[in-house]
Amino acid sequence: MVKSGQPDLGSFIEEADRSLALSVWWRDICLELLSDVDFKDWRYVHQHGEQVHGLVTLFERAQAQATKDIVSYGRLDIADRKQKLDEHQATMIVSVIKAALSEISLNREQKAQVAPAIARALREIEGPKHEEAA
């Protein structure tokens, strides 16, 4: 959602996460490919002089980019911003639930069932996210 011409912080953080993950993933792929090349073949003599294997260059670039992205991610304090955004969203959810519950009349037994039911529902929502990260 955009407010007053401001970009959506949630989208920015998600994009930064994806970009960093992609950068590190690409670096790891390049390293894996390079590990299949014998070390003695990383450099070779060609008619135009000594050459460096293309995968060495590709890995060097991927490593430099991943390092740059990691430093930028840290410098922008994205993890802290993400945590604050998550906390804000949690506060909003609690406020909505409290407002909805205050509009209806519940007996004591029903009130006792509300908190565990909400906790179960939230765990179900969070479940796929945690499974993907594992």
Q: Is residue 133 domain-resident?
A: no
Sign of the torsion angle spanned by Cα atoms 112, 117, 120, 121:
negative
**In total, how many domains does the chain have?**
1
Residue 13: domain span:
9-81
At 99-130, the pLDDT tens digits run: 888 788 888 888 788 878 888 887 887 665 54
Average pLDDT of the chain to the nearest whole number? 82
Instruction: Write the CB contacts of 121 (distance below 8 Å, at least 6 apart in sequence).
Output: none
Of 3-7, 34-38, 121-125, least confident by mean pLDDT is 3-7
Length of the chain: 134
Q: Is residue 69 domain-resident?
A: yes
pLDDT band at 6 (very low <50, low <70, confident <90, very high): low
pLDDT at 130: 47
Q: Is residue 29 domain-resident?
A: yes
Rounded CA separation 123/64 (Å): 38
* Global confidence as pTM: 0.52
- Token pair listed for 55: 């995968």
Query: Is 1:8 a contact under the CB 8 Å cutoff?
Result: yes
Q: Is residue 97 domain-resident?
A: no
- Token pair listed for 34: 């390079």
pLDDT at 79 over 80: no
